[in-house]
């Protein structure tokens, strides 16, 4: 998935183009397992310290939860969730080379909970059953105008009661400006370099 090269980069040994060659799974059954970062233009893996913070917010373990990684890229978020006990992790990735790598990683880890679909996220999401995921990871390309708004509109109906929506963006979310997020609250948020990250929950799901 093409992602903004100006965004914050994950820790790890840097390639010639300045990207990390690998990111690592932070916790769970596959803790410290490296994930290769393909040399694709604009690929922006979620930084290690951001993932560590996110999964601290989520309570470390995701046992039995259903997760959707809609713009999977390197698979760092999805494999992290599976490592921590998620019952199902659906990864969606439109780049054929990246999707193939995700399947190879899943096979190597014997990640039975992980399903990789090579598809355009915005075309696939509307066809998924409503309220079918407990955690949705949303990390769309930063440089495509209107992409975040469209992605939010598609993702909000997919989150189950009591579930969470995790969003990475190039600027802080303003809930008042998003019709899709009416009735939602930002439970936690942070910033790492150019990346703003947010954990959202419906107001009536406390």
Q: What is the pLDDT along the chain (206 residues), one digit of tens a residue?
A: 333 332 332 334 343 344 558 899 999 999 999 998 887 765 677 888 999 999 999 999 999 999 999 999 999 999 999 999 999 999 999 999 999 999 999 999 999 999 999 999 999 999 999 999 999 999 988 777 788 999 999 999 999 999 999 999 989 999 988 888 988 999 999 999 889 999 999 876 54
Closest CA to 62 of 10, 136, 129: 136
Per-residue exposure over 77-96, b if at least 16 CB sit within 10 Å of its own CB, e if not: bbbbbbbbebebbbbbbbbe
Correct CATH for 22-205 of 3.30.460.20, 3.40.50.150, 1.10.1240.10, 1.20.140.10: 3.40.50.150
**How far from the centroid of its chain's Cα atoms is residue 173's Cα?**
16
Residue ranges covered by each domain of the chain: 22-205
Whether this model's pTM surpasses 0.85: yes
Decide: 32 and 80 in contact? Cβ < 8 Å.
no
- Which backbone phi and psi does 168 adopt, to 5 degrees? -110, 140
3-state secondary structure of 162: strand
């Amino acid at each position: 998935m093409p992602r903004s090269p100006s965004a914050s980069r994950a820790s790890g040994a840097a390639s010639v183009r300045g990207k990390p060659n690998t990111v690592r799974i932070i916790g769970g059954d596959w803790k410290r397992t490296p994930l290769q970062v393909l040399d694709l233009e604009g690929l922006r893996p979620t930084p290690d310290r951001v993932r560590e913070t996110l999964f601290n917010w989520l309570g470390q373990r995701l046992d039995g939860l259903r997760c959707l990684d809609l713009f999977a890229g390197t698979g760092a978020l999805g494999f992290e969730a599976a490592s921590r006990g998620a019952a199902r992790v659906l990864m969606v990735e439109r780049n054929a080379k990246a999707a193939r790598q995700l399947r190879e990683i899943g096979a190597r880890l014997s990640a039975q909970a992980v399903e990789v679909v090579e598809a355009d996220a915005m075309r696939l999401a509307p066809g998924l059953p409503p309220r079918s995921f407990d955690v949705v990871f949303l990390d769309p390309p930063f440089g495509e105008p209107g992409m975040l708004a469209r992605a939010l509109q598609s993702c909000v109906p997919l989150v189950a009661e009591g579930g969470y929506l995790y969003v990475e963006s190039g600027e802080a979310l303003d809930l008042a400006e998003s019709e899709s997020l009416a009735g939602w609250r930002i439970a936690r948020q942070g910033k790492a370099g150019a990346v703003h990250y947010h954990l959202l929950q419906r107001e009536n799901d406390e």
